[in-house]
Structure 1
Amino acid sequence: MRIPLVVGVDGSKASLEAVGWAADEAARHGIPLHLLHAAAGEQEASDVVSAASARARQDAPAVPLSSEVSHENAASALVDKGRNAFALVLGSRGHGDLSGMLLGSVSLAVAAHAECPVVVVRGSPEHRAARFGNVVVGVEDGEGSRTAVDFALREAHVRDCRLVAVHAWSAPSGACTTSRAPSWFLEAHRRPPAQVLDDALRRPAERYRNASVSRQLIEKPACRALLEAASTADLLVVGARRRLGHSGLQLGLINHALLHHAPCPVAVVPQR
């Protein structure tokens, strides 16, 4: 049996929305769906899992379904399960989150530490129901986007929709092109923006030769460019770098902002 798509459930409305999204996703890929609930009370756990199971069977009755209850911390249980998962799917908020928070603490912690892709299901019903026909992927210079592009192209393929590859860039100012500019800055502006996109898409596109791919070069801050592109997207995909000498991922300010504000589901894909 193929490794499952794992969705974290806690009984909240956002959690059930995540289950519905995950059920559709599992059906697209032809993989099992596994529900994971972390809780202390047995009766509460039974009710939560039953409601989530009913939602999954309603949305995708043919998908093989399993479930479990863990007594670990929710984030730890999900990260552990993610070591052998196709992806982890989470709601944008949970029961335990403060009312003013835009993203649940568990979702943020899992996105920062999981070894597999993490999808945070957010946005309007129209975005969650895949009605736009676009998967957007953010492409940065260097190797950080390679795995994200692979993931995004596969998603566009199973959805039979268009991939929109976005590379945002800013022309360096005169002051930053002097010998006093740091080496990382000069390296970041060494390749022409069009070449960055071409290089990132070349190898993955060989596996999906019939894929419809749109390239967007945008001269503006990356976060704003991606949020604008996501306004007509069914899924926004971004990469995450590994930290040297630390556990987990370096989500960075851009990924944090997208997880909190994107108008559609967001997939954070670890660099490999």
Structure 2
Amino acid sequence: MTRRIVVGYDGSAPAVAAVEWAAADARRRELDLRIVHVGEPTEESAGMLEAAAARARPLTGGLAVTTESRTGNVVGELIAASSQADTLVVGSRGLGGFTGMVAGSVSMGVAGHAHAPVVVVRGPRVVEYGRVVVGYDGSEQAEAAMEFAVEQARARLAQLHVVTAWQVPVPAPYAPAYDDLIEEAVRAELEAARARVEPWRERNPGLVITDDQPRDHPVPALTRISETADLVVVGSHGRGGLAAAVLGSVSHGVLHHVTCPVAVVRA
């Protein structure tokens, strides 16, 4: 089966940015690109799709660019299209074919449910930082996120920055004896987080991998670090450092607050 990047398109500014991101990623990873519109097929929608393809072709370096028009529920059709995709790319919000959807409803609907990693693009990026950031806690979902992040960093010739963010429990004021126990637990968690990164360094000797363990909730930690990132990658949910996150907690928060492209990866 041909693996390709699929991008949802409705003519909105975020969708244009999503097409451009998907085309550049297709070129980096040598994958075909398919541009999908969901809505009633009309001459206008056909022209819109062709215009998107014309915009994408110069960015793919000669790789195949095809278009597809689907009818039905936007989220359901994009999830179905993702079954034959390496990656599904969507804008952060839309219009036209996505009319009536509130900000983030399509991206929230497909992220965590699609058959492939979902990349949500808010807008065009002017500055490139040469850094991919991944939230990592050692869970099954985080392992899948790491695999995707490693591939993205390699394709971009970028550094990979691994973040394990977690909040230190606040002891009750009447229980100062627990301070030492908490600090011991903190040291153990830091050591475990650093140790989890080492096998990735060993398996990827040509990739610069840095790590950080901020004492903060994952959403503000990743949001802050994302200011100098080209892509932030998170699992659909995790444990421990990523606070038992389901889509609606860490992934949900990151999608709402991080301004660079965000990839949500299921195990």
Shorter-chain TM-score range: 0.7 to 0.9
Name the counterpart of 2:215.
219
CA distance in 2, matches of 1:160, 1:224: 27
Name the counterpart of 2:241.
none
Counterpart residue type for residue 139 of structure 2: G
Give the Å deviation of 1:160.
0.6
Confirm whether residue 164 of structure 1 aligns to residue 161 of structure 2. Answer: yes
- Residue 226 and residue 19 in structure 1: after superposition, are their counterparts in 2 closer, same or farther (change >3 A)? same
Counterpart residue type for residue 148 of structure 2: F
CA distance in 2, matches of 1:9, 1:56: 12
CA distance in 2, matches of 1:16, 1:142: 34
Q: Could you state the TM-score of these two structures normalised by the residue count of structure 2?
A: 0.85
CA offset digits 1:139-188 (Å, max 9, x no partner): 1253331110111111111111100101112222335xx9xxxxxxxxx9
Name the counterpart of 2:178.
none
Give the Å deviation of 1:61.
4.0
CA distance in 1, matches of 2:100, 2:76: 20
Kept in 1: contact 2:117–2:263 (CA 8 A): yes
Counterpart residue type for residue 173 of structure 1: V
Name the counterpart of 1:26.
26
Name the counterpart of 1:193.
190
- Residue 173 and residue 142 in structure 1: after superposition, are their counterparts in 2 closer, same or farther (change >3 A)? farther
Confirm whether residue 239 of structure 1 aligns to residue 235 of structure 2. Answer: yes
Give the Å deviation of 1:210.
1.0
In structure 1, list runs of 5 or more residues that go unmatched: 179-187, 243-248
CA distance in 2, matches of 1:218, 1:61: 40
Name the counterpart of 1:62.
62
- Residue 98 and residue 90 in structure 1: after superposition, are their counterparts in 2 closer, same or farther (change >3 A)? same
SS in 2 for 1:58: helix
- Residue 97 and residue 261 in structure 1: after superposition, are their counterparts in 2 closer, same or farther (change >3 A)? farther
CA distance in 2, matches of 1:73, 1:36: 13
- Report how many residues are paired: 249
CA distance in 1, matches of 2:135, 2:34: 28
Give the Å deviation of 1:119.
0.1
In structure 2, list runs of 5 or more residues that go unmatched: 176-184, 239-244
Counterpart residue type for residue 41 of structure 1: P
